[in-house]
Amino acid sequence: MSLLEIADLKVAFPGPTGPVNAVNGVSLRIESGQTLAILGESGSGKSVTAQAVTGILDVPPATVSGSVQLRGRELLTLSRKQRERVSGEEIGMVFQDAMAALNPVFTVGHQIVEVLRVRRGMSRADARRRAVELVDRVRIPAAKDRMRDYPHQFSGGMRQRIMIALAIALEPDLLIADEPTTALDVTVQAQVMELLAEIQRDSGMGLLLITHDLGVVAEVADDVAVMYAGRIVERGTVEQIFAGPAHPYTEGLLNSMPRVDRRDEQLYAIPGAPPNPARLPAGCPFHLRCPRATDECRVVLPPLLALPADRASACHHHEEVLDATRR
């Protein structure tokens, strides 16, 4: 049994001209201790997928279908109350904007202590001791003295680490991190990613990492799911994806990224822009930007097909892509 198994997840929002299909049938799986990165550009549906897993999506207006199982237990059919308990205690959540996740009117110490008291029934003294341990664990200097500080009194990188302390307070089995380092400098990003890896090594927690940064993915992921227009278009191990992508979108992303360790004369630029989820093109959603598109692509939506070596691609011409990209 997998730690998390998502099957055919669909999420839509009502829009002015009909439904906005933000997530269009996503299936994926994470094992304990593993890191799965969801890679994709802005608007591809990464955050909505995460919100559907944690249950923080407002239904209605959103409509959700498919299945989300945590250790074999279906979450989508739980009552609101049960759902809140599961996401509160078994799933931890870290966002891009720590300021929005932390309550500005309470001290950092108070917020962690309250979680431990309410969810774990700890005494005030025990909760306080544990909270100091947690803040120290995320390497905030002088943790004990900083418990009385408010979120705005910390730097961006420190707030991000305090949000991690809060997210791991109840020792969740699964941590969902949505662009946890996007707003941070590379120096601080390296600190935060190192911290997450360390916590994971110690606790065996599974990590669902959402990012648009190919570099971060290459550094920390075990498996990768590439999202485009609400679908997973390619899935594989991090080595497979980077050594030879099986989808033209992944191929384009890898070629369009400048690298710090070498200088390429010219970057490949994927033409055009990601499609509007309220008006997806017919056939393959990538066909207007794809250099390999054929007539078939303009009409027939390619399903996510299992390929040898436990990887998958949603492209009619995946064999051709693999032949071209395999190094």
Partner 1 sequence: MPPGDEVVLRVENLVKHFPVKGRVPFTSGGVVKAVDGVSFDLRRGETLGVVGESGCGKSTLARMLVGLEQPTSGAVRFGTSVVHQARGRELRALRRRIQIVLQDPYTSLNPRRTIREILLQPFEIHPDVLDRRRRIERIKELLDLVGLDPGLHLDRYPHQFSGGQRQRIGIARALALSPDVIVCDEPVSALDVSVQAQVVNLLERLQEELGVAYVFIAHDLSVVRHISDRVAVMYLGKLVETGPEVSLYESPRHPYTRALLSAVPVPDPAGRQGRQRILLAGDPPSPVDPPSGCRFRTRCWQAADTCATTEPPLAAGAHPVACHFPLAA
Ligand X SMILES: Nc1ncnc2c1ncn2[C@@H]1O[C@H](COP(=O)(O)OP(=O)(O)OP(=O)(O)O)[C@@H](O)[C@H]1O
Residue ranges that bind partner 1, judged by CB under 8 A: 41-42, 141, 155-158, 185-191, 193-194, 212-219, 221, 238-239, 242-243, 252-254, 256-261, 263-264, 266-271, 273-274, 289
CB closer to partner 1 out of 78 and 183: 183
Q: Is 42 in the site for ligand X (CB under 6 A)?
A: yes
Residue given tokens 């030879």 in the structure block: 244
Taking the C-alpha atoms of residue 209 and residue 179, their distance in angstroms, rounded to an integer, is 7
Q: Is 47 in the site for Mg ion (CB under 5 A)?
A: yes
Q: How far is the CB of 250 from ligand SF4 (least distance, A)?
A: 10
Query: What is the maximum span of the chain, computed from C-alpha positions, in angstroms?
Result: 68
Q: Phi/psi at 135 (nearest 5 deg)?
A: -65, -35
Q: Strand 223-228 to strand 35-39: parallel, antiparallel, or no bridges (unpaired)?
A: parallel
Q: How far is the CB of 185 from partner 1 (least distance, A)?
A: 4
String marking each residue 229-268 x if it binds ligand SF4 according to CB under 6 A: ------------------xx--------------------
Alpha-carbon radius of gyration of the chain: 21
Stretch that binds ligand SF4, among 10-18, 100-108, 176-184, 284-292 (CB under 6 A): 284-292
Asked whether 297 and 284 are in contact (CB, 8 A), the reply is yes
Positive or negative: CA dihedral 194, 195, 200, 206: negative
Taking the C-alpha atoms of residue 220 and residue 209, their distance in angstroms, rounded to an integer, is 9
Q: Is 95 in the site for ligand SF4 (CB under 6 A)?
A: no
**Terminus-to-terminus CA distance in the chain, angstroms?**
34
User: Which of the choices partner 1, Mg ion, ligand X, none does residue 256 contact, using the CB cut-off of 5 to 8 A by kind?
Assistant: partner 1
Q: How far is the CB of 246 from ligand X (least distance, A)?
A: 21
Peptide bond into 275 cis (omega under 30): no
Residue given tokens 């966002």 in the structure block: 95
Q: Contact positions toward ligand X, by CB under 6 A?
A: 13, 20, 22, 40, 42-48, 277
Site residues (CB under 6 A) for ligand SF4?
247-248, 284, 286-287, 290, 292-293, 297, 302, 315-317
Binding region for Mg ion (CB under 5 A): 47
